Structure formats: C-alpha cells, structure tokens
Chain A
Amino acid sequence: MGITLPLLILAIPLFMFLLLGIAGVKMSHKLAGWLGCLGMGTTLVLAYTVALTYYFCPEFTAETGERIQTIVFNQTWLAFTQNLVISLGFLLDPISALMLIVITTISFLVHLYSLGYMEGEKGFQRYYAFLSLFSFSMLGLVVATNIFQMYIFWELVGASSYLLIGFYYTKHSAVAASKKAFIVTRFADLGFLIGILVLSYYSQTFDFLKLTTDSQWVLASTQGATFMGASVLTWALVLIFTGGMGKSAMMPLHIWLPDAMEGPTPVSALIHAATMVVAGVFLVARMFPVYLLEESATMIVAVVGAVTAFYAAMVACTQIDIKRVLAFSTISQIAFMMVSLGVASNGNGDVCHHGLGYMASMFHMFTHAMFKALLFLGAGALIHAVHSNDYTAMGGLSRYMPVTRWTFLIGCLAIAGIPPFSGFFSKDEILSAAYAWSPFMGVWMTIVAAMTAFYMFRLYFLIFRWDEPDYGHHTPHDPPLPMMIPLVFLAAVSCVAGFIPFGHFVTWNRMPYDIHLDPWIACSSVAVAICAICLAAYMYRTKNPLPEKMKNAMPVLWDWCHHRFYWDELYMFITHKIIFNGVCRPLAWFDRHIIDGTMDSFAAVTNKLSRVIAPLQSGQVQMYVFVYIIGALLLGGITVLCLI
C-alpha cells in the first residue's frame, strides 16, 4: 500500500484543525461547518478505502490465511537512545483497520449532526476545529506503531476531550467537569507512563510489533525480576492497564465520565461513547500477546471489568439525567469489553476458547460504537427538543418525535441484546467467552446484561411513554435533516451489523475464525433480557406509584446508587481535604515562614548586629580615648603577664 492515502488520513484532520483554529474566526458558521464536514468526509472515504483494501486485498493475507500486520510508514521522531526511539508511523492490522472505520464513520456523522445541533452557537468554528483535532488524535492513536506514539496521541485525545467538554466555558459546571476529566485521566496516564518506562527498560523497545510478535522474548527479558512479590512484567502490564482504566472509565477512575456529559451531546456521542473511551480496551487488545504472558494481569483486567460493569449498571438504574444514564451504560458496556479481553486468556500463556473473548470484545466495540452513538445522538435530539437533560421534563414524546422514537428504540433493543439487532450477537459472544472461562463470570455478566436491558427500557419508557408534562406552546418535534440522517443511518447499521462474519476479520492471531452461537447461552440471555424489559415496561409504561414505592422500600440502596456510591465525595475529600489542605497549604506555609523566615532572619541578624556595633563609631573623642586607654592597659597587662 502506498503511503499517500494513510498519510492523508492523518493530515487532513490536522490541517482542518489548523485551518479552522487559525482562520475560523473570520469564517461564517456555515462555511466552517461545511468545511469541517468536507474534510471529515474525505477522510472517511480514504479510511474506508484503506481499511477495505486491507481486509479484502489478498496482498495482506498470508498463505496460511493469517492477516499480515503492515507498517505503512514509520518516521523517527525522537531518538532517546539507540533502541528507544519514538517513531510516528502507521500500522495497519485488523484492529486498526476496524478502528479507522469506526472513528471516521462516527466522526463524520457527528460533524453532520452538529450542523443542526450546534446551529447558531457561539464558537461554532472553534467547535469544528476541536472536532478535527480530536479526530486526528484518535486516528493517530489507533494506527500507532509503538507504545510511545500511542502515549503521545493518548495525551492529545485527552486534551481535545478537555477542550470539548469545556466547550461551554462560561458555565462553571462545564469548566469543572473538563478539569476533572483531564486530571483524572492524567493521573491514570502517570501509571501508563511508568508502565511504559518499566516495560521498555527490560525489552529495550517501544515497538508494538517487536513486543507482540515474539512475546516469549519479552517474558525472557524480565525473567526473575520481581518487585514487592510480583514479577516486573505484571507490574508493567498493570501500570499500563491503569492508563487504560483512566481513559475507559473503569472503577475507581470512572468518576470523570458522567461529568463529561457537560459537553455538547454530539461530543458525548463521538468521544465519550464511541471512540476515546474505548481507547483503554484498544490498548489492552494491542498489547494482548504480552498480556497473555501474565495470568495475574489478565485476571486484573477481567475482575476490574466485572466489578465496573455491575456497579455502573446499578447506578444507571437510578439516574435522572438521561445523558448520565447513557454515560453509566457506556461505562458498563466498556467493562463488558474489558471482561471479554480478560477472559480470553486461560492463564497459562494461552488463549481460552480459541480466543473468542478477544474477537467478541472487538466485535462489541464495533457494535457498541454504532448503537451507543445512536442513543447519544437520539438523546441529543430529545434535549434539542425539550431543552432539558432530565427525563422529568420529558414523557409521551413518541407522539411528537416518531423518527427519534423508533431509532432510539432500535438502539435500546440493540444494547439490550435482543436478536436480530447487533448488540445481541456481540454480547452473546462475550457471555460465551465468560462462561468458558468460569461459570461464575458467565452468570455475573448475564445478570449485568439483564440490568442493562432494564435500565435502558426504563429510560425508554420514561421518555416516550409515562406521563406527558406541559410542553406549552413549544411542542417538541423531530430534529432537522442533518440530525435525522445520522440517526437513521446508525439505526440501520445497528439492525444489520450483527450479521457481519466478524471472526473472519478480527481475531487475536489474525486467523479467520467461525462464530457459532451457543443456543443455550443465546436463549438464556435473550430470556433474561426480555424479562427485564417486561419488568421495565410494567414499572414505567404508564405513570404509576410503583417506582416511588420501590425507592421507599430500599432507601439506603437507592440513595447509594443515586449518589453513585459516593465516589465523587470520596475523591473530593482526598483531593481537597487531604492533598490541598493537608499537603499544599502546609508546604506553602513552610515555604513562607520557615525557609523564607530563615533567609529573612539572616538579614535581620546582620542588621541587628550592625546596629549594635555602629554606636562604637560615635565620633566622641573622649570615648575613643577611653577605649584606647583600656586597650593599651589590656595589652600592657598581657605583655607583663607573658614576661613573668
């Protein structure tokens, strides 16, 4: 493959960012918006060309049927030492090609959607500039050829996320949310950085291909080195995973994602549902052969995922803000992907169940991107219509917004795992992989899947059925065309995406793999999902006191769920009370009073001393004579004493 197309995929969004960022102020909203769409549209076409060429052109498939990992270009950017070199390059393999498709599709749709959603907003050009920056960074992240390139773009997506969350910068809550998102992920990145440093010290390379193709050698290079009872490799992998936990909002670093909903809704769809938040999953998938080497590392991935999935699903059942419900559902679904990666390893350095978990995870990443973006964009349409984020301001909307309603319903069915919608297929494979790893994990994840179906349909019924509030003169209506097209398109994709023979495209060893549904698991998961939907329908289809009763029956549980188990308060306590008041303030005091005080007192002592000595030079001759005589007597006395 030539270098032109891949290079353009990265260059066009970057150019659009610079163009819109520098010259945008002078442009009209319309021009800036269409330029942004045009740029992203071109990128979309190029990315599809590259990805489809990769999947279908025989030159990228070896005789054995294995898809070849190809480095299209790799340019040295910064050489630390002879071996440790950061390059900027373009790695084409099944997962990066997959992500190229996902990112450009969603990004283009969001560009289009925003033409309607952001119409007339102040800073429209800036918004498009940031979207382009984000797209550039995210594309650079997925095609990274080495772990440091990934880290670079990892930071860049973090920064563009910061800028977009804080888009409405006059709002206190938006500023606080963007700050929180950046700092929490920065904290996680610290772990990532140290992990990279540890891993690269032993392996003496940043290169993904070197690390993953011959991973036994990585194991050998770290052999015998331990730190605090765990092997160095485990430490490195867990630290790197910390970075992934931050970006993918795994417990306990999830607190930034719900707040990030302060950003414009299309941004939530793009960054906080479909692309950036799955970067953590992508990272683990990219390093998967290395993770396979360490049982404890994959174990941690699976356990963190399982706990997070359950936690987020519980919280999602009690939220009022519809975007927060979707945010927690995103956390929960990403946790599904994490679990799936974790259970793909059998703990003996080999894959479990032919690596089904890996494939399922990537499949779910793909389908989730589509249906979650659909749900977010649908939520955007609702918010656009009623000017509120809370479901209490909605109700009975199915009458006014039919298109939104049907597309939203498709999204809900997909996420709930009802066949034939896409979520069913991917989730089912995750459950199969989980059962194969351990029955407990399988049951646990099935329960979470049921909860997913419940809270999504709770949301659906509360928005579209329930009781209608007084809309006054502004009856809500379906959104304009630029917002409608993405909704319909994503709904269509969510209907059919499940039938893609995904195993032929993306597997852990890049060999084709045939998916077959396990009827027992499929039936049971569909059954529980349907039960959960029925329960949701029973409770929320029409206005009734049942939810209130439930809430009063379990006040403590409801309270904890509603307040997200007080994680935010805990972090507030740690950062404000302990670090700010307990460390920063005393240090500043110490600086002012002890260190500065010492320096000042040197000066003061010198001053005092000179004041004391100064009167000796009084100018009175009698005094001088007196001192002279005393001195002479003393000297004389000493001389006499010496002579004796």
Chain B
Amino acid sequence: MFENILIYFVVIPLVMLGLLALCRDIKQIRAVAVVGSLGLIALSVVTLVQYLGMRAAGVEDPMLFVDSWTWFAPLNIHLAVGVDGISIAMLLLSSIIVFAGSFASWTIKEPKAFFLWLILLSVGVFGFFISIDMFTMFMFYEVALIPMYLLIGVWGSGNKNYSAMKLTLMLMGGSAFLMMGLIGIYYHSAPEGGQLTWNLLEIVKNASIPHGWQSFLFPMTFVGFGVLGAMFPFHTWSPDGHASAPTAVSMLHAGVLMKLGGYGCFRVAIYTMPQAAHELSWIFLILTGISVVYGAFCACVKTDLKYINAYSSVSHCGLVLFAILMLNETAMTGAIMQMLSHGLMTALFFALIGMIYGRTHTREITQMGGMMQIMPYLSVCYVIAGMASLGLPGLSGFVAEMTIFVGSFQAGMTDYLAGHGSLRLVFTIIACCSIVITAVYILRVVGKLLFGPVHDEHHRTLTDATWWERLSTVTLIICVAAIGCFPNFFNNLINFTFKPAIFSVLGMN
C-alpha cells in the first residue's frame, strides 16, 4: 500500500495530527505545521515531476498512479486513488495554501486544537483530490466539512454561531442531494448483471447509466457539488461563513474547499453523465451565469472587507462552474486555471484582510483609509491581489479568465451558428461584463482602504507586516505571478490527458 506515492497525501496530515496531539507548546505546534506543510508541498512537486516524466515517456492512461485497496467488499467500496493533471494542480494548490495558512495563523489562540482541526480538514481535502472511488471521495468530502463548523464556531468572530450553523447545514443539505446522486450512479454503474462499482474510471468505461436516470442523477450531483461551489441561489452560506471564519479557515475554505465543488462537478457529474450534461447544462448555465454578475454586483455595495471578498468569490467560482458547463476543452481548461488562480488570490486576500483586521479590529472600509501610509507592505500586497482579481496580465486572473472567455465564446458561437440557440453566447457576453464590474469593486476598496488620507488617527501607530506574515503573502504572490507569467505550463499540465479523455467521454467538438 505504501509504495504508491499518492497515499502519502493522506498519511502526512495524519502523522501531523498524531504529532500535534503530542505537542506541548506553541513552538512545537508551529514546527509541526510548517514542516508538515512543507512536506506536502514537496510531495506534490515530486508527484508533479513524476507525472510529467511518465507523460513525456508516452503513458496515455487517463489517470496515473492508479491503485485500489478493498475496504468493504459487500458494497464494493475501495480506497481507490489516481491522479491526472487536474488533480495534481489541485494538490499543489492545496498544499501551498495549507503552508500559507499555517503562517497566517501564527499567533492564533488555543493553537493546538485549532491546528488539529485545520489539519483534519486538510486530510479531507487531500483525500478528496486523490480519490477516484466515489464513496471514499464522499467520505473525505464530509471529513473536510465537519471541522469547518468547529473552526468557525470556536475561533470565529462576529455572528459566528449563526454563520457556522448556516454553513454546515447548507453544505450538508448539498451532501444529501449528492449522496442520492452517488448512490444512484452506483446502482447503474455496470451493465445488467455486471459487477457494480464506485470507481469513476470504471463507471466511465462502462458508460451504462441509462439516459432517463442520467437526467435525474445529473442535477442531483451537480447541485450537491454546486452548493459548495457557491452556485446561485445556494451561495448564501459563503458570505456569512467567510466573514465569521478566522483567517486561515477563510483561506482554506475559499482557496481549496470551494474548489472541491468545481472539481466534483467536473469529475463526477459531467464525467460520468455526459449526455445529461449536454441536455441539462443550460439550466445550470443560467444559474452560474447569474452567479458571475450577481456576486460582482453585490460586492459593489458591501462595506465589510470579508463580505466583499466573499461575494467576489461567488462571482469567480461561478465562472468556474460556468466554464465547466460550456463542455468545451478550452473553457474547461480555463475553469481549472480559474480554480487555481482564484484559490491563490482569494487566499491572499483573506490572509491580508485577516492581517489588517488583526491590527485595526475593524473590517469596515468606511472606518479605515490611507493604509498605504501606515502599512505599506500589506497595502502593496493588497493592490497586487486586487490586480490579480481584476485580471491584470502577468498575474493569474487574466490567463484564467481569457481562457474561459475564448473557450466559451467558441462554444457559444458554434451553438448559435448551428441553430442551437444563443443562450451560451449571450451568457458568455454577460460573463465578460464581469471584468468591468470586478474592476469597479476592487478599485473602490483599494481607493477607500489604502489610498486617500488616514481616516483614523489611532491607526497611525499600527505596525507593518511581521516576518511570518511576509512569508505567507510572498509565497502566494509568487504563485499568482508564476501562473500569470507561464500559463502554458499549467495549460499543458491540465489538458495533457484531458483532451483525449474529453473527446471520448463527452464526444464534443
């Protein structure tokens, strides 16, 4: 079992949990968190290198490092693992954010319990991304959700009990749909008389889900995962949840957990039920298209930094689901890039907001101003994050958005010219409008918060970033710039095997 590299993505956090339980003081806790998350980064880089090496050697399998161990034979439940370029990208993202998040919670109170729950959450996240067995996937998904409740409820701020409860209940509600969907898929996972399976690769190979069932199961799974992807109108957990969560949790939640939604929608809903995806995508296209502009418009009037960023996440994550539903190679590649990009930059945003809040004890932009004069380092980072968010070339947001727009437009035009209606085209153009609205709310915050005269004279005594805060932000900024400057590497990584897989599964283009 332990010769497969992927299993270590779960083993390392589990070992960390054990070590954390033994820790006696804050220094040891920090050491475990930092060493462990560095180990995870190293592991994902090694996986990436090995993966690219195998691809370069001409391995054509849809997933690599595939392995499966029986867990509960009567129900055919296995711990099955395997990754392709998309999962590796997500693993990289998660490990980087766990690393940055550890530094962002350097001075958290009750660190032991906090880190225990945080690492448990990351067990769920990593487990989810390496699994290809739907049951274990679902299990890890739930593992990632539960710690959220405690992390927000205990370490949160503001209306934290309400937010924690709301977030958990809504996501659990999504899980209920999801579970029905998954069980439905399981019972149709093999042709009549065949061996039923939870394994995604085999389900795709069998392609035996009857058409009628697909039209029922697809919405179930898509909504189930879509709730986590903050799809309109199931997004309202996100603003409250993010606003109340402590810094590192907001980072991990917006940066990684929301990606579980997009990843799941693609990996489970669309991958296994392509026909239904083709027929029913329009419903969700409308919903996600609304998310994109709706989130952006709402962000324009909010005055709480975390709310603004949470609505902006609704808009950006809406774009991920939107692009996935285009069922077009380019757009889907863009969706994955957007997940990476949004994960990194929103983590950066939440980290910065947490740092500013930790100093000023307010998140209201009306009560702050002129931060550039007081904490120049944090302010410059905030401007960079804002620029990434509004899609400045050279940072990650631009490449992701452009890939999505080009792909969606191609899909929309093809549809339109083939006489399939202009829905995709119209929604693509509506989604494009978000680049203007994003600029509006980002520059509004930047102008009010960072520039202008100092609003509150008490703020003048505040200090700039400490070394751990610098480390946390610099890591994220470097990653954001790396994606923005060398997008083709990620592009190739993502669609290396994605292309043939998409051709065979979705039969598009």
A binding-site residues for B, Cβ under 8 Å: 76-81, 84, 148, 152-153, 155-156, 159, 162, 166, 169-172, 175-176, 178-179, 182-183, 186-187, 189-190, 193-194, 197-198, 200-201, 225, 580, 583-585, 587-588, 591, 595-596, 599, 603
Contacts and interface: CB of A to CB of B under 8 A. Distances in A.
A166 B379 CA distance: 14
13 contacts: A78-B399, A78-B487, A84-B330, A169-B451, A175-B447, A175-B451, A183-B443, A200-B406, A580-B300, A587-B301, A588-B302, A599-B166, A599-B170
A587 B298 contact: yes
B400 to A, nearest CB: 10
B488 A584 contact: no
A166 B233 contact: no
Given A580-B301, A584-B298, A588-B302, A176 B447 contact: yes
Nearest to B376: A25
Contact of B488 (A79, A172, A599): A79
B451 A80 contact: no
Contacts of B433: 190
A182 B410 contact: no
B366 to A, nearest CB: 15
Given A81-B330, A84-B406, A584-B297, A170 B443 contact: no
Given A155-B392, A584-B300, A603-B169, A78 B403 contact: yes
B452 A169 contact: yes
Closest 7 CB pairs of A and B: A169-B451, A152-B393, A197-B409, A175-B451, A584-B300, A78-B487, A186-B439
Given A176-B447, A599-B166, A201 B453 contact: no
B26 interface: no
A80 B436 contact: no
Contacts of A175: 447, 451-452
B297 A81 contact: no
B394 A77 contact: no
Contacts of A155: 391-393, 398
A193 B405 contact: yes
Contacts of B236: 591, 595-596, 599
Most chain B CB neighbours (cut-off 10 Å) among A81, A197, A198: A197
Interface string B65-98: 0000000000000000000000000000000000
Contact of A585 (B301, B406, B451): B301
A197 B406 contact: yes
B505 interface: no
Interface string B365-392: 0000010110000000000000100111
Interface of B: 166, 169-170, 233, 236, 294, 297-298, 300-302, 329-330, 370, 372-373, 387, 390-394, 398-399, 402-403, 405-407, 409-410, 413, 417, 429, 432-433, 435-436, 439-440, 443-444, 447, 450-453, 487-488, 491
Contacts of B301: 580, 584-585, 587-588
Contacts of B450: 169
Interface of chain B: mostly helix, strand, loop or mixed:
helix
Given A179-B447, A194-B429, A583 B297 contact: yes
Given A80-B407, A171-B452, A599-B166, 6 more contacts: A84-B406, A155-B393, A156-B392, A170-B451, A186-B439, A583-B297
B439 A183 contact: yes
A488 to B, nearest CB: 36
B205 to A, nearest CB: 27
Contact of B439 (A171, A182, A197, A584): A182
Given A169-B372, A175-B452, A584-B301, A80 B398 contact: no
A7 B185 CA distance: 55
Nearest to B409: A197
Given A78-B403, A183-B439, A190-B433, A159 B387 contact: yes
Nearest to B236: A596
A587 B297 contact: yes
Interface of chain A: mostly helix, strand, loop or mixed:
helix
Given A588-B301, A603-B169, A170 B391 contact: no
B345 to A, nearest CB: 16
Contacts of B166: 599, 603
Nearest to B169: A603
A156 B393 contact: yes
B392 A201 contact: no
A153 B358 CA distance: 37
Nearest to B454: A170
Contacts of B390: 186
B373 A588 contact: no
Given A170-B373, A190-B435, A201-B410, A78 B393 contact: no
Contacts of A197: 405-406, 409
B393 A588 contact: no
Contacts of A189: 435
Contacts of B439: 182-183, 186
A179 B387 contact: no
B392 A166 contact: no
A176 B432 CA distance: 24
B34 to A, nearest CB: 25
B444 A179 contact: yes
Contacts of B443: 162, 179, 182-183
A152 B391 CA distance: 10
Contacts of B413: 201
Contacts of A187: 436
A179 B6 CA distance: 47
Contacts of B410: 81, 201
Nearest to A197: B409
A187 B434 CA distance: 10
A580 B403 CA distance: 29
A190 B436 contact: yes
Contacts of B329: 81
Contact of B370 (A153, A170, A591): A170
A193 B487 contact: no
Contacts of A162: 443
A427 to B, nearest CB: 36
B488 A193 contact: no
A79 B399 CA distance: 11
B298 A183 contact: no
A384 B203 CA distance: 75
